[in-house]
Amino acid sequence: MRQIQTGTALRQLLTEWPGQNKRDLLTGLRSLGLDGLTTTDVNRVLYAGRGTFAHDGATPPRWRLAAGAEQGDGASIAPVPTRPRCYVGREPRAWQREALGEWHANGRRGVVEAVTGTGKTTVGVLAAAAAVDAGEKVLLLVPGRELLDQWHAALRRDLRIGRVGRLGDGHRDSLSDHSVLVATVQSAAKGWIIPGGAPGLLIADEVHRYGAKSFARALNQGFEARLGLTATYERTDNGLIDHLQPYFGEVVAGCTYERGLADDILAPFRVAFLGADFAGNERELYDQYDEQVRTLRRRLVLDHDCPAEPFGEFITHVNELSRGGHGSPRATMDASRYLNAFSKRRQLLAGCRRKREALASLAPILAEADAGLVFSETTASAEQAAGILRGRGVSASEFTSELHRTARKHRLTEFKHGRIKVLTAPRVLDEGIDLPQAEVGVVVAGTQSKRQMIQRMGRVIRPKHDRRPATFVVLYIRGTSEDPKNGAHEGFIDQLVDVVADYKTFRPGAPEAKLLWWYREGRLR
């Protein structure tokens, strides 16, 4: 009854004043005498009534009545496809059905953007199943061998069809004798085409990765139906505009943090920023590298015609200059010096002494948590982080690309069963790998990429069996490019403001007992 009353009141508020966000609506509900509600309660009603309410996709979303809702006919935003005949997987979630409905309404072209952990893989499997039902061929692109195997296993599990093929990592299957082919983008970019001009669907997982020229060659024009899947549709270069948007079209419905929380797909989460200061001569070294980076960047832009923005385009040009062959030894030298200073600055931030001490101060939290992940910058720093935690009595192991595949699978199994409490890893965990549930995530080496931060967050915000919140801690050095006061993680923080259950900043040297108390307080809520 309470939910019905809330829904009726929300219709009234949005009829009178469209374009309100959830906080505006909560204020309006209280003015109507509906007390005791939270923004989470408001979101539950809004997202459950997708035939009645629609939003603009902003952060936070601004809501209005859906087309047709003013007349009370309950028209949905887009037709929801029927369940494919060959699909035998779990019942699709509401957002997955809506995303596929909008994708179909958009001529079966578009990108579905869904927060890590909300089930974008199922969207791809359902789209593939519908295409197979219609007699079409399906090519599914993945960025690496781990996802090649994971998608192959998911399709074989959830589709009642014949053989599902693989191309890449030693596999040489083709669409000639398979309805669905999972291929690494490197293999597909070599000129793979759909046989005989048959109708087909191309699905690109981690679609943001394919904006580079070399990977864009895999986006074959022979596939009329096109679906991109990603947690965050952004790049630091012009790849979206130049390659991805012309091929896939625009973003269609997906799943945001707000939707995931409202639908109980994601666990509530708490975020802390734990500061640290340089020690010894680290500040002097940082200032030296930082000045070199700034000076050489200006020179590369003004004297050597590197584009100032976006940063990814700048780095691409710098890398090209550093390889020489452009008839300008000075440009090659400046580019090489820039890359060297940039790398040294990043390595210094990743491995400075007080940051190692800050990680050690989190050992009691990681020891008490069911499972934890530590995100580092390099293989060496991952090994160092694991050693620090082991020295504090926490069962921790590094998980890096340099490990043999068998060793990596073994460590994931040990982590899943609790025999390893914490995995420490560089960027190998940022995308793709299907990880067991973790409760705490720690970022030792900050990244300026909102996409990477969101993907890392997604590793720990899957729902917990006892509904406790997830915990995410970001370490940073004050007064540097990592410091939130200097604009670091601005896009990431903006996206969290309206959805995070608790946000805390700890000063350098915060006592272990204080950090542990904050963590325990969250578990008891």
* Alpha-carbon gap, residue 54 to 351, rounded angstroms: 46
CA–chain centroid gap for 18, Å, is 31
pLDDT score at 69: 56
Which pLDDT score, from 0 to 100, does residue 6 have?
81
Chain position carrying tokens 């490990």: 403
372 DSSP β-pair partners = 422, 440
Q: How many CA atoms lie within 13 A of 136 on its CB side?
A: 19
Distance between alpha carbon 459 and the CA centroid of its chain, in Å? 9
Output the six-digit token pair for 163: 């053989």
Q: Which residues contact 462 (CB under 8 A, 6 or more apart)?
A: 117, 266, 267, 437, 470
* pLDDT by residue, tens only, the chain of 525 residues: 566 678 788 888 888 788 888 878 888 888 777 777 777 778 778 877 766 888 876 767 888 888 765 544 433 344 456 789 999 999 999 899 989 998 998 899 999 999 888 899 999 999 999 999 998 999 999 998 888 999 999 999 999 987 899 999 889 898 888 999 999 998 988 866 665 566 899 999 999 988 888 888 889 888 999 999 998 888 777 788 888 999 999 888 788 888 888 888 888 888 899 999 999 899 999 999 999 999 999 999 998 888 887 777 788 889 888 888 677 889 899 999 999 999 899 888 888 899 999 999 999 999 999 899 998 888 888 899 999 999 999 999 999 888 888 888 899 889 888 899 999 988 756 555 667 778 899 988 766 666 677 777 777 777 766 677 889 999 999 988 888 887 776 666 666 667 788 889 999 999 999 999 999 987 766
Cβ atoms of residues 113 and 231 within 8 Å = yes
Q: Are 236 and 482 in contact (CB under 8 A)?
A: no
DSSP string, 136-162: -EEEEEESSHHHHHHHHHHHHHHB-SS
Question: Which residues, listed in sequence order, are joined to residue 181 by a DSSP beta bridge?
Answer: 139, 165
Whole-angstrom Cα distance, residue 416 to residue 102?
A: 36
Alpha-carbon distance 204 to 143, whole Å? 9
Helix (H, G, I), strand (E, B) or coil at 362: coil
Strand 164-168 and strand 171-172: pairing? antiparallel
